[in-house]
A and B are shown apart, each in its own frame.
Chain A
Amino acid sequence: MNAKEISPKVNARLNRIKIVSRIARLLVIGFLLFTIWFLLRVWIFQGTPVLFDKFNAASAKAAHQYPLFLCAGILSLFTPLILCVWYWKLAQLFHYYERGLIFTVKTIRCIKFLGLLCVINWTLVSTRHLLLQETGPGLFQPSPSQPIYRMEFFSFDFGWGIDFGPLLAGAIIVVIAWIMDEGRKIQEEQELTV
């Protein structure tokens, strides 16, 4: 057998990865569509997002805290947007796997970006939480139908109301992607060493 030829066993494994990746990609696109539909449904049919609610805006104006209220409102809009980008990048990752790209630069970059999105999401959620604390308790009444988007991967809440778990999860994803990248480079260098 030629050194460049792919063995039948390897071919079967690659085919399996491709099939499962395709199914996973379709599922993730399904989740993405469901999330978009759900958000639109909440915003259009059940009123504007909670922080842009007229009653809440009037309360904030009365308390002379309208700029803080507006900042928190804008931040709360970004969170579902990040969720949608997260799903989109995940679908892209599965697309790379489907193409048979397992330990490539593109795949690793995609995993790293997913981790970074977790960190960005955590930053936004925490900033929003701090802004809402600044405006005082009881000013805004969140509706029970508003999505929470709290990924309970790890949870490290030290009583400040800010969970450091998602930050740690994002950092771990970035570190694992970095280790994979370094491993790939080491293997490449080993192959070139004669």
Chain B
Amino acid sequence: MNADEISPKTNPRLKRIQKISAYFRTLFFVSALLFVVIGVVEIIELPILHISDLAHSNPSRFRDAIFMGVSIICWTAETWFAYKLFFFYARGDLFTPEIVRYLRRIGYVSILIGFWSAFKLYFLFGFLGDNPSAAGAIAAKFGVILVQLVFSIVPGFVTIFIAWVMDEGRKIQEEQELTV
């Protein structure tokens, strides 16, 4: 057998990867489209419905609409990058720079989502609105926000880290192949 030839065992493996990746690619493509549609509806709805809420001293509904809008933008970006990631997997590219790039982008967006969810929690607790008298209550609320922040941004950092290690591993293998 020639060194460049693909072994008979390898081909079914690659086909299996491509088949499952294609399912995920479709799922994320549909999800991204759905988020775009929901986002457009939200954008159209926002000035019509919620500006009047703001005018009628009901800022919480307006605030919720803004929160939802930003979250939808982040989820659209994330699902789109996941679609692109599985697009390359479905093409049979396993350890390429494109895979690393999209993994990294998913990581960046999930960090953004993590900060955004902690920010939302900050508002939901009414830090700006009320004036909690006990220092212990503030510390407890701050603790919950911190735990939520850590819990939400850690997956993003881990994704970026794994992408970086994959990239380095790929470069190491390339360099080893070139070493004679």
Binding site for B on A (CB under 8 A): 1, 3, 5-7, 9-10, 13-14, 16-17, 20-21, 24, 28, 31, 34-35, 38, 41-42, 46, 83, 90, 97, 102-103, 111, 144-156, 169, 172, 175-176, 178-180, 182-183, 185-186, 189-190, 192-194
Contact = CB atoms under 8 A, between A and B. Distances in A.
B151 A145 contact: no
A83 B5 contact: no
28 contacts: A3-B179, A5-B179, A7-B176, A9-B175, A10-B175, A13-B172, A17-B168, A20-B164, A21-B165, A34-B150, A35-B147, A42-B140, A90-B154, A97-B165, A147-B147, A148-B148, A153-B78, A154-B75, A179-B17, A179-B89, A179-B94, A182-B14, A186-B13, A189-B10, A190-B6, A192-B7, A193-B7, A194-B3
A10 B9 CA distance: 30
Contact of A152 (B6, B117, B144, B176): B117
Interface of B: 1, 3, 5-7, 9-10, 13-14, 16-17, 20-21, 24, 31, 71, 75, 78-79, 82, 89, 94-95, 103, 110, 113-114, 116-117, 121, 125, 137, 140-141, 143-144, 147-148, 150-152, 154-155, 158, 161-162, 164-166, 168-169, 171-172, 175-176, 179-180
Contacts of A155: 71, 75
A148 B140 CA distance: 13
Contacts of A186: 10, 13-14, 94
Given A150-B117, A179-B21, A186-B10, A156 B147 contact: no
B78 to A, nearest CB: 6
Contacts of B151: 83, 149-151
Top 10 nearest A-B pairs (CB, nearest first) are A145-B140, A183-B94, A102-B169, A152-B117, A193-B7, A7-B179, A186-B10, A189-B7, A10-B172, A147-B147
A35 B149 CA distance: 12
B13 A1 contact: no
Contact of A7 (B161, B165, B175): B175
Contacts of B79: 154
Contacts of B5: 193
A144 B75 contact: no
A41 B150 contact: no
A17 B180 contact: no
Contacts of B117: 150, 152
A30 to B, nearest CB: 10
Nearest to A183: B94
Contacts of A24: 161
Contacts of A34: 147, 150
A9 to B, nearest CB: 5
Contacts of B94: 179-180, 182-183, 186
A154 B116 CA distance: 13
Given A41-B143, A186-B13, A14 B7 contact: no
B143 to A, nearest CB: 6
Given A31-B150, A150-B148, A190-B7, A182 B176 contact: no
A102 B1 contact: no
Contact of A169 (B9, B154, B155, B172): B155
